[in-house]
């Protein structure tokens, strides 16, 4: 089957080619994002493969349908960038990668936590300038601290397990309670407990209308002074302007994010020779207690292998008119 792959990168192409080594599919790599201005590039392709910042709204899906596309394959777990109702109306099947390597994202969240707490990013920059002063680099022991895990799915459970290994008291928030989370030693928070007790809050939930800006000004006002916030899930879980105000006042002790609300215009490209026009991002990176990485939490060999293999398996199943195990449907 012919597949147009948007937002493709050189490192992804290597793993996709390996997953397609038998040559069952003809892959056309496109380094641009899918959207109204680029959808014409998909004309004639029965399947289109997209990533987290590609735009599959109703007008784009309608254009894909006119061009002959009948399968939209997401090489990611989240699907908040797809209008599922429009896809269903048009008869376009949508598949995703339900799970790839929860360890990759959870371990990266821990790396961000350790780095922001112990000021690793600042120490690294200092020593490169032969500055070995320790002033301003004091952190705190994780042992005995309260860690709130918002979203206790597969990734949240792996993160919780690691935090329990550090000797933390782990509390969770999720509308759907996980027996696995509780078996690990986590417990679900009582109303208001995350704000009042959590020294660390780590986000591992999907982006839905209910979770949009789950971290907002009101929540931050009620949070424990000096708490650290980690986000490796979706950028719009956080009201970035509210977080900036909490950082300025000292209410929030530190922020480490691998995702950003307006990341689609920035991430996955080299802008080092350009002037960044995003004032909010510029304000964020100006804080000494903020770390921003460019959506790399999933980026391990194991995760990329699974993502690419699962995506192409779904394309094969669609081509053979077999059941789509990873299909996403409008609720």
Enumerate the active-site residues.
234, 263, 295
User: φ and ψ at 305, to 5 degrees?
Assistant: -60, -50
Query: DSSP for 185-230?
Result: T-EEPPTTHHHHH-SEEEE-----TTTTTSB-HHHHHTSPTTEEEE
CA distances to 42, 228, 232 from 252, rounded to whole Å, are 45, 6, 17
| Residue 263 DSSP symbol | G
Element (H, E) at 257: strand 252-257
Report the candidate in 157, 97, 164, 147 with the shortest Cα–Cα distance to residue 302: 97
Angle at which helices 10-19 and 301-319 pack, to 10 degrees?
50
Residue 297 CA to residue 105 CA, distance in Å, equals 5
User: φ and ψ at 163, to 5 degrees?
Assistant: -65, -40
CA 176 to chain centre: 20
């Amino acid at each position: 089957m012919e597949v147009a792959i948007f937002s493709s990168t050189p490192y992804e192409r290597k793993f996709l080619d390996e997953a397609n080594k038998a040559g069952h599919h003809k892959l056309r790599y496109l380094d641009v994002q899918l959207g109204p201005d680029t959808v014409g590039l998909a004309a004639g392709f029965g399947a289109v493969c997209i990533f987290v910042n590609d735009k599959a709204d109703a007008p784009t899906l309608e254009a894909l349908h006119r061009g002959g596309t009948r399968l939209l394959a997401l090489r990611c777990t989240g699907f908040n960038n797809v209008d599922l109702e429009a896809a269903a109306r048009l008869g376009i099947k949508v598949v995703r990668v339900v799970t790839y390597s929860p360890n990759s994202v959870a371990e990266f969240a821990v790396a961000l936590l350790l780095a922001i707490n112990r000021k690793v990013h600042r120490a690294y920059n200092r020593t490169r300038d032969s500055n070995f002063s320790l002033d301003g680099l004091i952190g705190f022991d994780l042992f005995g601290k309260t860690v709130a895990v918002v979203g206790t799915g597969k990734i949240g459970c792996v993160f919780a397990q690691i935090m329990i290994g550090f000797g933390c008291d782990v509390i969770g928030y999720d509308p759907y309670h996980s027996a696995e989370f509780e078996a690990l030693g986590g417990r679900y928070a009582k109303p208001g407990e995350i704000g009042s007790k959590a020294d660390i809050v780590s986000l591992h939930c999907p982006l839905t209308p209910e979770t949009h800006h789950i971290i907002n000004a009101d929540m931050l006002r009620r949070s424990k002074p000096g708490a650290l916030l980690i986000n490796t899930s979706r950028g719009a879980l956080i009201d970035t302007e509210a977080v900036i105000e909490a950082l300025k006042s000292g209410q929030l002790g530190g922020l480490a994010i691998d995702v950003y609300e307006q990341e689609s215009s920035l991430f996955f490209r080299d802008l080092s020779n350009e002037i960044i026009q995003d004032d909010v991002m510029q304000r964020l990176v100006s804080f000494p207690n903020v770390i921003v990485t460019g959506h790399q939490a999933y980026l391990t060999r194991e995760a990329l292998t699974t993502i690419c293999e699962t995506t192409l398996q779904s394309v094969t199943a669609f081509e053979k008119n077999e059941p789509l195990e990873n299909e996403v449907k409008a609720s």
